[in-house]
Amino acid sequence: MQTKNRPKSIRIGTRGSALALAQAHETRDRLMKAHGLGSDAFEIVVIKTSGDRIQDRPLSEVGGKGLFTKEIEQALIDGDIDLAVHSSKDMPTVLPEGLGLTAFLPREDVRDAFISPKAKRLQDLPQGAVVGSSSLRRQAMIKRLRPDIEVVTYRGNVQTRLAKLAAGEVDATLLAFAGLKRLGLAGEVTSLLETEDFLPAVGQGAICIETRADDGETIALLQAIHHTETATCLAAERAFLAELDGSCRTPIGGLARLEAGEVTFRGLILKPDGSEVHEIESRGAAGEAAGIGARAGQALKARGGPDFFSH
């Protein structure tokens, strides 16, 4: 596998959170298996991002998504790492010049998980209960379903959030089931929110791998672990988001499914207080995934009108 020009090991860049490391290890393990390599063929390079440093404010206030990726992408551009492993959900729709999303791993469960010592389901929480979440989408969806619930901003990594819940700071929280599963914490889940009632974030549950667009050797290496079905769904979801995310303060949900060569896409936008919702469902051939997502985004943008995105 190795050539003369390649440094001794394949350098995998990742954030240092437990979830990010689990994702980097999953990627490495798949590459080892696909190419018959040992773990010594890889080096996991931990990179601290602004998103990791800023813990006291909601991400939407300090600049949103790029915060978890900027420093890692710079390491790719500088040639300090060969590939970067990310949660697709955290990826901006526009990447820096010269970089590309080269591979997607088979998607985990896309659903949000409800975790609470007080009730079995979100619908069963007592009147006026307090739910912790820093995601604008989850906050707005909770208020849409249960306007009486108080939603408090609640940041930190998955373990910190579970500790705050255990300490009684909030009555419940919502987290991506995929992340909990990857951390071996599926047992913490009280119940799962079905996508019909609670649409996930674009990219939720999908690990993506970013490389330099001209790094043919790494791109070839990744082909063996690339999951085209996931990539097709992500093409629709990311095209949808690209039409809408001019403002990272707008709650957005989007999910594509692929069945028998046909993509079914559902998307929605909400006012942050859940008082107004615009939803769309569309379908088409897998080869048209990006167009299906983009048209859905344009349609919702038109339906929301110019005021929808200016809060």
Ligand X SMILES: NCc1[nH]cc(CCC(=O)O)c1CC(=O)O
Residues that bind ligand X (CB under 6 A): 87, 89-90, 175-176, 178-179, 204-205
Q: Give CA angle at 74 (91, 156), nearest 5°.
A: 50
Paired sense of beta strands 191-193 and 112-115, if any = antiparallel
* Distance between CA atoms of residues 114 and 138, nearest Å: 11
Closest distance to ligand X from the beta carbon of 7 (Å): 29
71's tokens: 């420093």
- Reduced DSSP (H G I as helix, E B as strand, rest coil) percent helix, strand, coil of the chain, to 5: 40, 25, 40
Give yes or no: 90 in active site. yes
The residue (of 23 and 232) whose beta carbon lies closer to ligand X is: 23
- Active-site residue identified among 56, 78, 80, 90: 90
252's tokens: 């957005």
Closest distance to ligand X from the beta carbon of 272 (Å): 17
100's tokens: 């590309």
Cα dihedral: 222, 223, 225, 229 (round 10): 130
Looking at the chain, the number of H-run helices and the number of E-run strands are 10, 13
Closest alpha carbon to 188 in 156, 164, 206? 164
Closest distance to ligand X from the beta carbon of 109 (Å): 9
The residue (of 217 and 229) whose beta carbon lies closer to ligand X is: 229
Closest distance to ligand X from the beta carbon of 58 (Å): 11
Closest distance to ligand X from the beta carbon of 113 (Å): 8
The residue (of 164 and 283) whose beta carbon lies closer to ligand X is: 164
The residue (of 108 and 215) whose beta carbon lies closer to ligand X is: 108
The residue (of 48 and 303) whose beta carbon lies closer to ligand X is: 48
**3-state SS, residue 289:** helix
Q: Which residues are catalytic?
A: 90
